[in-house]
Chain A
Amino acid sequence: MTASERYFHGSYRAARPYLFAKVFLAMLALDTWMLMIGHAGRYGVAGFNVAHFRWLDRLEPVPSAALYVGVLVLTGLLALCIALCGLRPVALFALFLLYTFSWSMSMLDSYQHHYFLSSILLCMLFFPRVRGTDFAPPPTTAATVNERERNPHLVSGFGYNLLGVTVGVLYTYTSIAKMDAAWCAGHTIRRISSAETAFAPLVGWLVRVGLPAERFWSLLATSVIPLELCVALGYLLAVRQDTSERRWLRWACTLSWLLAMTLHFGADFMGLQIGWFSDYMILLACVFLLPGRIVELLGGLVIWPARFAAAQLADWHDDVGSAEHNLPTLGLSAAIAVVLGLVGRMLDLPGAQSACLLAAVALLGLTTWAVWRGRAAQLRTLILGTGIAVLLMWGAFARSEVRWDFYRYLGGDLKRRGQPEAALDAYLKGERYAPSGQSRRDKIEELERQLGR
């Protein structure tokens, strides 16, 4: 093995990829449902679109709002199913394709972190398949905490190592991007955020003790450059921290974690409008940079609900392979397919019902195939996982303001482009989901007057 092979094929604690995959996929599902769908009304307007890649422009010249919503609903469902039922390369590859299509179909989605999430999904294809019990055995197991610490459960799979390097590359470039006069003078950081308000008391005090405000902003902005470079280095080292004997390496990783936290909580404190990017980066920092023992503890928290559910369903899983349970499995699959259809209708967004029906057909098709091959019992986890994912999806839509965002943005745009009738329809639909105090009643009345109603 060469040095680079030892680096990329080296092993690490099983809890790291496990924790990352579970939390990341759940976040991705919520991100697609609760944030991305809100902007779907922009798609397909006036027949204009530019995809991120020219070949995609020829394939799908003008994606509609329904297509965008449908792709995102399916992406979220698939992500949550994988999070609940375990990593399967085929499912992960399908998720990678769906998610990548969701942002690349149009430059309307130009968030760089969506491209980054696609890179993560591609790396995850090469993650090892780890079970929670591998690194956090049930409490009845005789192994003590000390024994487990002496024999940390290591796994290998180059996807994790590759992801660490990719994150290092990202931080390096974000640092390079800030190496210009305007950033270093502090103009940019004051404009992109509410930093001036957030730091006002500190700046006031510094001015009183003799440090000019301009100097403070320049120092703050410039300090981000070495900070990001240090975090980048931390990720490159982190890949080896579980197998290296070098104590300084683990200390360097912990220090990088502190710097990453400072950077991303600082970004949140300054009110940067970057969606969930900071949250994804915080997750990455916790998984890659924290000491293995802490990651295993965090992983243990994640598997607790799964362990509870498995204990409740133990009897049901005991008869795996029993042909007499084919019918109940088919029945359960059919029931969840019906729930999918109903939830799709209740989502009340263009494209949502078609996506849910497609998912229902896929689930039924897979179950029928499994029954035919005598493998129905093996699908039970997937069927139950899909059921839970559908209910969580409904919860995410019901709890968030995504439908309100969708209809009010759509109404506003239609009104601006001189389509009062369609704008009125959108606003009226949006009123059902308007949070308290944010009604658009005034706009509705204005449009009704304009239309003579």
Chain B
Amino acid sequence: MRGSLSQSAELCIPQQKTRTLHGHRVLPDVIDHHVMVEPGSLGQASAPRSRSWANAFIALFLAYQVGMPLSYYLSDRVHDERFSWRMFSTVRLQECDVQVHELAERSGTVRERPVVVERDLQIAWIGLLKRLRPAVVEKYLRQRCERAHAQQVTLQGQCVNSNGEAMPERSFAVHCATGQWSTDGEP
């Protein structure tokens, strides 16, 4: 019998055929189950009931780990690569130029005016705006609606791929009165 088993773990080892591990004879069940763990470890799920809970957790955890990145590939959120393990992706390397405009009424006339983003945001947020991260773009445009009393705020982004190729222009807009959000002209 293996020498490093704890007293509690040494219980109930049935008589079975031995097999070899790293060239040494060992009992099959010893290899898989009868190992030393201090009491109280959450991961030790030897009882059938606790093993069922553990299995449920494992299934959920793995479903999330596999499903979250997969949802990126199955969706159209090209510029939101969070949680999708896209290290050094070509999307991350796109260089985008963004322009923000708002429609606001002044002296009875509705005019379009450019927005100086640098006055509103910390530079790291400007970086995220330039990556066209949808959640950041939406929140910023909505904030402009509140602060500048505009009727509509629009962001247009023109990106260039890592090989220098120009990408199609993207546009995001918020209609301030209704709160309606649209991407590339579509709600």
Q: Hey, which bits of chain A sit against chain B, CB under 8 A?
A: 1, 4-6, 8-11, 14, 39, 42, 45-46, 48, 50, 52, 89, 107-108, 110, 112, 115, 119, 122-123, 125-131, 134, 143, 147, 149-160, 162, 165-166, 169-170, 173-174, 176-178, 180, 182-183, 185, 187-189, 191-192, 243, 245, 272, 274, 413, 416-418
Taking the closest CB of chain B, its distance from the CB of A438, in whole angstroms, is 20
A residues near B87, Cβ cutoff 8 Å: 112, 174, 177, 274
Given A128-B44, A173-B84, also A183-B90 (CB < 8 A): yes
Cα–Cα distance between A160 and B123 once the two chains are bound (Å)? 40
Indicate if the CB atoms of B51 and A45 lie closer than 8 Å: no
| A118 smallest CB distance to B (angstroms) | 11
Known contacts: A9-B54, A177-B86. The answer to whether A417 contacts B118 by CB under 8 A is yes
- Residue total for B at the interface (Cβ-Cβ under 8 A): 62
Task: Kindly name the residue among A122, A155, A178 whose own CB sees the greatest number of chain B CB atoms within 10 A.
Answer: A155
Q: Which of A1, A39, A107, A178 has the most CB atoms of chain B within a 10 A radius of its CB?
A: A107
B128 A107 Cβ-Cβ under 8 A: yes
Max chain A CB contacts within 10 Å: which of B2, B33, B44?
B44
Q: Does B111 contact A (CB under 8 A)?
A: no
Cβ distance B87 to chain A, nearest Cβ, rounded Å: 5
Can you name 16 A-B pairs with beta carbons within 8 Å? A5-B51, A8-B58, A9-B54, A107-B82, A107-B135, A119-B65, A122-B61, A126-B54, A128-B44, A131-B38, A154-B31, A165-B65, A169-B85, A192-B88, A272-B88, A274-B87
B122 touches A46 (CB 8 A): yes
- In Å, the complex CA distance between A417 and B122 comes to 8
Most chain-A Cβ atoms within 10 A of its Cβ — which of B51, B58, B73, B136?
A: B58
B182 within 8 A of A: no
B150 to chain A, nearest CB (A): 17
Inside 8 A of B65's CB, which chain A residues have their CB? 119, 165-166, 169
- Find out whether the CB atom of B93 lies under 8 angstroms from the CB atom of A177: no
Q: Which residue of A lies closest to B73 (CB)?
A: A176
Whether A112 touches B82, Cβ cut-off 8 Å, given contacts A162-B58, A187-B163, A191-B162, is: yes
Query: If the complex has contacts A5-B51, A5-B55, A48-B143, are A245 and B20 also in contact, measured as CB distance less than 8 A?
Result: yes
B35/A155 in contact, CB under 8 A: yes
Contact B122 A156 (CB under 8 A): no
Contact A156 B90 (CB under 8 A): no
Taking a contact as CB atoms under 8 Å apart, the answer to whether B35 and A156 are in contact is yes
A282 CB, nearest partner CB in chain B, Å: 15
Contact in complex: A174, B4 (CB < 8 Å):
no
Bound Cα distance from A433 to B55, whole angstroms: 51
Partner of B122, one of A45, A89, A153, A183: A45
Does B161 interact with chain A (Cβ within 8 Å)? Answer: yes
Query: Could you tell me if B136 and A188 are in contact, using CB atoms closer than 8 angstroms?
Result: no
C-alpha spacing A187/B65, complex, angstroms: 29
Docked CA distance A134–B3 (Å): 11
3 cross-chain pairs, A with B, having the tightest CB-CB distances, nearest first: A157-B43, A126-B43, A173-B85
Give the complex CA separation of A162 and B55 in angstroms.
Answer: 11
Which residues, 13 to 66 on B, are CB-close (under 8 Å) to A? Answer: 19-22, 24, 31-33, 35-38, 40-46, 51, 54-55, 57-58, 61-62, 65-66
With A115-B82, A177-B85 as contacts: A128 and B37 at CB distance below 8 Å:
yes
Cross-chain contact A188 with B3 (CB below 8 angstroms): no
A residues less than 8 Å from B123 (CB atoms): 413, 416
List, in ascending order, chain A residues with CB within 8 A of B51's CB. Answer: 5, 9
B113 at the interface (CB under 8 A from A): no
Q: Assuming the A-B contacts A128-B37, A177-B87, A188-B90, are A162 and B62 also in contact, with contact meaning beta carbons closer than 8 angstroms in the complex?
A: yes
Most buried by B among A39, A112, A119: A112
Chain B neighbourhood of A11, CB < 8 A = 31-33, 35
Is B125 in the interface zone, CB < 8 Å from A?
A: yes
Bound together, the chains give a CA A63 to CA B45 distance in angstroms of: 39
Which chain A residues border B128 with CB–CB below 8 Å?
Answer: 107-108, 110
